[in-house]
Structure 1
Amino acid sequence: MSETAAASAEPGLLYSRILLKLSGEALMGDQGFGLEPATVDRLARQVKAAHDLGIEICLVIGGGNIFRGLSAAAEGMERTQADYMGMLATVMNALGMQSALERIGVPTRVQSAIPMASVCEPYIRRRAMRHLEKGRVVIFAAGTGNPYFTTDTAATLRAMEMGASAILKGTQVDGVYDSDPRTNPAAQRFSEVSYHEVLTRNLKVMDASAIALARDNALPIVVFSLHEDGGLTDVLRGRGRFTRVGP
């Protein structure tokens, strides 16, 4: 696709501009740490498939595969310092995903909330909007740039700033369940669930600040499995298995 303008979206898609939220752990595959190239490449191909439909896409990727600030703070590290280290981990993941996307022909920009001009752009809202309009995938790194805020909150904030139609959250399971389906075979999956129920039942979709921000702005959150080939494009067409969190 040319970088001069985004392609027209395929008819019948539910969303025209999305923010895709991935955990850092999604990038490490079967490893216990870091980035597994084959897994990153597989996720990049899913993003490309959606991009080829004409969808405008931005991403937020966590850093838990490299460093988790909250866990480090629990071990005695000063929380603010630990959170900044976690933000730097998200920049590493963003650069890894950028490399994978550009290898398969998807123009990509990384914008960091912590300025580091040698490796990526600073976060500038108007510039990010222009990148999306030109058909580039934009990866937002370093969270909100502030300690005590998770990448879930950063994802919701950036989605609102970009005017995204929805947040699509790729997870290890195919939606939101009333308990962990990996340990409880009788767990029930929701096809739709309200923000209020997510908060009151502590359903672990995203952290409470992110859910509250989405609720206050009526921003849908769609939870689907990263492990389904074509899962992202199926969700965009309203197919497959997923859970929609909304009013």
Structure 2
Amino acid sequence: MMKDFDLGPILTGEYASLLLHGASLTLQLMLYAWTLAMTLAFALVVVRLTHKPLLERLVAGYVSYHRNVPTLVQLMLWYFGVPTLLPESAQLWLANFSTEFIFAVIALGLCQAAYFSEDLRAGLRAIPAGQNEAARALGLGYVRAMRYVILPQGIRNSLPSLVNHTVLLFKNTSLAMAIGVVELTYATREVENYTFRTFESYLVATVGYLAVSLLLMAVGALIARRFDMARAR
């Protein structure tokens, strides 16, 4: 006989606490990985702007690797493979910390940096060459021209892609369950195992992922509107 639909056991007591802990860890994982990815993405774009063939090829290789190897495989490589290359003292040190979380941040951040860097590069390439020439004609040096003229326009041009890939990063945090990170998907599976309420458990997780994804897109739309208003002044 089919069980009656009941969210009560899922949203109360220790099961609710487990889901909230998973949701919190998911958001932390996304935030840290996003920060790493965006920082590295800017560095990769700057390297490519040097127009030095060797450096450009190295960056292109980095981007190609991370865009063509499944994110799950990259997580497995970092968690199971990289520690075996470290000295025993380093392995013991890592064992005393949240190794799963640390490697998940690194793997997701490095992977997403490849996408972010391509988004930023496409946004910069869409800027007319005259913008840089005009900035230099006004007496701005290279750094100030990039900071006040080129980068703001490049970020505005690449904003839709950056938002889409930010949402993708948020969804990819669920892959971290494969290496033992107790994020939302992992917590949902545990709750389902304990309560045997499969539909209710995954419904709560689905609503949570959907809500955060829609919120991220809404924030992206708000930022884009602010950029458009600033440009119209």
Q: TM-score w.r.t. structure 1 length?
A: 0.26
Higher strand residue share: 1
Higher relative contact order (CA 8 A, sep 6+): 2
TM-score for both structures, normalised by structure 2: 0.27
